[in-house]
Structure 1
Amino acid sequence: MEWYLALAFLLSLILVLMAIGTPIAMAFLAANVVGAWYFMGGGSGVIQMLDNGFGALSSFALVPIPLFLLMGELFFRTGLGMRMFNAIDRLMGRVPGRLSYVTVAGGTAFATLSGSSMGSTALMGSLLVPEMERRGYKKHMAIGPILGTGGLAIIIPPSALAVLLGTLARIDIGALLIAGIVPGLVLAGLYMLTIYIQTRIDPDAAPAYSLEAVPAGEKLILVLRDILPMISVMAIIIALMLSGFATPSEAAAFGALGVILLAVIFRCLTFTAFQESVVGALKVTLMAYLIVFGSATFSQLLAFSGASSGLIQWAIGLELSPVLMLLTMFAVLLVLGTFMEQISIMMLTVPFFFPLAETLGFDLIWFGVVVLLALEISFSTPPLGLLLFVMKGVAPPGTSMRTIYMAAIPFILCSMLLVGLMIAFPGIATWLPGMM
């Protein structure tokens, strides 16, 4: 069978199964079984395919996923996240658009510690949007920053999605996690610049209101008690990986232990909170492991059928410049993001895009950050970005989808600008991993 027929056969089978409501992991597994039976010699091929899949699940590189998820669940359910938000809120003072800046600053820290875009968006949307509307903020000033910072959880470590991408693409997970730090901070800075421009253009979008001044001594206490301990968890994780003292898996274990110790110190670790955190992390972990199983076997099936090598040779034969090829792959990720969720997109594209990127001479860690940025943008891209519907679910009654779409656009443009900066200056993503 020609490579393009094999590729069309496998992808069509997966898409049909997904269209009739089959869970993504099960759709890939069913397609793999059919493909292995046809391309790899019947029952013996299916057995070999299953053996390969179980071998992928035994990878030590997957260990950070449940630990990072547990860390984020504990941070959310014990209330440590709200302590940090409240402290940042009081420290901002009478700055115009203060709550929008608080959303970016606090949301970046929360996204960093939680690693969950949906969790970050749901928490901030349910707590901050009603409060900002009560204080006279226009809806786009409340909704836009939350959608933007929710996506930062994909980029800034610890990111379970980055660990999954590194596992599927077979690249250095520690380097990929570290590579997201500088782009994530640059993006947060662009978000703050966007808010500043919005408040200058329309001062009524974020009206000023009276606020009791916080004495300098109390500000110091807020930083030392409610902010520094939380941020130190992330700093320790990064330092452990940068120094080479710990692998990403070991650093993730230190991070989860650090959040547990903080919850004990602040007397907010209850049995209910711990139980809910473990159950929440376990559910997502099982889904992720099933996805790794399906994706690993799918990649091998593509290689065995000749579909992946044939597609790469065809793409190279187009004689597009590397930048144009990169933009084409980026556009494919954005289009897929309008009707698929991020993990499904990775499963479909990683087996093709990373070998192609390597052939084009791209640094795979840098390319991994570009892919994560594309996934981050697609998370909030109209009309079907997942974070848009999360926001709709927690926003005050009467908030239209059009309002949410319009609020998201300036922050999507910030992410696009960051991609352009990374193409022009790759060191934004490669500098910090180079220090490892």
Structure 2
Amino acid sequence: MEWYQALALLLGMVFTLMMLGMPVALAFLGANLVGAFIFMGGERGIGQLINNGFGAMTNFALVPIPLFLLMGELFFHTGLATRVFNGVDRLLGKLPARLSYVTVGGGTAFATLSGSSMGSTALLGSLMLPEMMKRGYSKVMAIGPILGTGGLAIIIPPSALAVLLATFARIDVGSLLLAGVIPGIILAGFYAALIYTLARINPDSAPAYEVVAMPWGDRIKLFISELMPMVAVVVLVITVMVTGWATPTEAAAFGCFGVVVLAAIYRCLTVSAFVTACRGALKVTLMSFLIIFGSSTFSQLLAFSGASSGFIGWATSMEAGPYTMLLIMFMILLILGMFMDQLSMLLLTVPIFFPLAAQLGFDPIWFGLIVLLALEISFTTPPFGLLLFVMKGVAPPGTTMREIYIAGFPFIACILLLVLLLVAFPGIALFLPNLGH
């Protein structure tokens, strides 16, 4: 069987099973079993494939995933996330468009820890959107920052999706996490500048309203008591990885411990909150590990059938340059994101894209960060980006999809600008990983 026939057969089975309504992980497992029977010698091949899949799941590099997820669940269910939102809100005082800044700052903190852009969008849409609409904020200033926080959450560590991507692509987890720090800060700056500019151009888009003025002494006290402890946990998690004092697994465990200690200090660590957090983290972890099982075996099938090497050979034989190929891969991710979730996209593209990127001479850590940003942009790409429909579900009655598209576009443009900046200056992403080594 030719490589393109093998590739079409394997991908075709996955898409067919997904269109029939089968869960993503099970669709990949079904396609893998049929593929192993065809390409790896019947029942013996199936047995070998299953053994390889279990071997992939017993990888020490996967341990940060449940720990980061538990960290985010504890942060939310204990009420620490709400304290951060309220603290940032009070700290900003009379700053124009302050609720937009609160959404970006507090939302990024939550989404980074939760590892779920869809969950973050649903939470922020329910928590912040009604308040902003009540205050007379325009759709762009209210909905746009909520859609924009996902781009920050996906690259600023600790990011569970970054750990999954590094595992799928077999690149260093710590390096990929560190690569997102400086670009994440730059993207936050872009968002702040965008909100400031929009508020200056049209002050009515974020009407000012009276708030109780806080003396500077009270602001400092509020920052120290409400914000600094939570910020310190994330900063310390990043610092111990940058300095090499701890592995990503140890840093994740430290982060979990830090959130538990903070919740205990603030007297919001209840048995109910802890059990709910553990249950939520367990559900996502089991799903993630089942998907990892399907991913690793799918990658092996692509390699064993010759589909990977055939596709790479065909792609590299084209006269298109490396950056043209990068643009093609980027556009494929944007299109897939219109109708697939991020994990499914990783399963389909990582086994093909990363070997191709290596052939094109791209640094795997840098390329991984580009892929992460493409995944997030694809979630808000009209007309079918999944986050657009999540936002539609939580937006006030009467909000049209067109209004959501328009609100999200300026923030998507900020992420695209960051991607161009990373392509022009790869050192922005590679500085901290190289420092860590």
Bin the TM-score by the shorter chain: over 0.9
The reply to whether residue 160 of structure 1 matches residue 160 of structure 2 is yes
Matches for 1:360-379 after TM superposition, within 5 Å: 360-379=360-379
Q: Which residue number in structure 2 is paired with residue 119 of structure 1?
A: 119
Separation in 1, partners of 2:178, 2:288 = 21
Q: Distance in 2 between matches of 1:249 and 1:100?
A: 34
Post-superposition shift, 1:105? 2.0
| Alpha-carbon distance in structure 2 between the residues aligned to 1:403 and 1:413 | 16
Q: One-letter code of the match for 1:301?
A: L
Q: Secondary structure of the residue that 1:155 maps to in structure 2?
A: coil
Determine helix, strand or coil for the equivalent of 1:431. Answer: helix
Aligned counterpart, 2:52:
52
Amino acid at match of 1:109: A
Equivalent position of 1:237 in the other structure? 237
- Name the TM-score, length of structure 1 as normaliser: 0.98
Taking the TM superposition and a 5 Å limit, the aligned residue runs for 1:33-432 are 33-432=33-432
Farther-moved stretch of structure 1 (376-385 vs 137-146): 376-385
Amino acid at match of 1:266: Y
Q: How many residues align?
A: 436
**Aligned residue identity for 2:241:** M
What is the Cα deviation at residue 383 of structure 1? 2.1
Report Cα offsets for 1:332-373 as digits up to 9, x if no partner.
100111111111010000001000101111110000000000
Q: Matched residues, percent identical?
A: 66
Cα distance in 2 between the residues matched to 1:67 and 1:328: 35
Which residue does the alignment assign to 1:24? 24
Secondary structure of the equivalent of 1:310? helix
**1:171-222 Cα shifts (integer Å, max 9, x gaps):** 0001001111111111111111111221122111111111111111110111
2-structure distance, mates of 1:113, 1:337: 22
Aligned partners of 1:252 and 1:364: how far apart in 2? 23
Taking the aligned partners of 1:398 and 1:279, their CA distance within structure 2 comes to 36
Shift of 1:40: 0.7
Deviations 1:406-435 (A, max 9, x none): 111111111111100000011111111111
1:398 positional shift: 2.4
| 1:139 CA drift (Å) | 1.9
CA distance in 1, matches of 2:398, 2:271: 37
Q: Work out the CA distance in 2 between the residues paired with 1:114 and 1:294.
A: 23
* Residue-by-residue CA offset, 1:261-314 (whole Å, 9 max, x unaligned): 110000001111111111111111011001000010010111111000000000
Task: Kindly state the Cα deviation for residue 109 of structure 1 after the two structures are TM-superposed.
Answer: 2.5
Residues in 1 aligned to 2:116 and 2:348: alpha-carbon distance in whole angstroms: 22
How far, CA to CA, are the matches of 2:405 and 2:247 in structure 1? 40
Unaligned ranges ≥5, structure 2: none
Q: Is the contact between residue 112 and residue 234 of structure 1 (CA under 8 Å) also seen in structure 2?
A: no
Q: In structure 1, what residue type is equivalent to 2:278?
A: V
1:115–1:157 Cα contact (<8 Å) kept: no
CA RMSD of aligned residues (A): 1.1
**SS class of match (1:158):** coil
TM superposition shift of 1:396: 2.2
Q: Deviations over 1:211-241 (max 9, x none)?
A: 1111111101111011110011111111111
1:389 Cα deviation from its structure 2 partner: 2.1
Contact residue 338 and residue 384 of structure 2 kept, 8 A: yes
Secondary structure of 1:362's aligned partner:
coil
In structure 2, give the amino acid aligned to 1:343.
Answer: L
Cα distance between partner residues in 2 of 1:175 and 1:286? 25
- Alpha-carbon shift at residue 384 of structure 1 (Å): 2.2
TM-score, length-scaled by structure 2: 0.98
Gaps spanning 5+ residues in structure 1: where?
Answer: none
The 2-side partners of 1:116 and 1:291 are apart by: 16
Cα distance in 2 for partners of 1:126, 1:27 equals: 32
Instruction: Tell me the secondary structure at the aligned position of residue 348 of structure 1.
Output: helix
CA offset digits 1:59-87 (Å, max 9, x no partner): 01111111100000010111101111111
Measure the CA separation in 1 of the matches of 2:111 and 2:22.
30
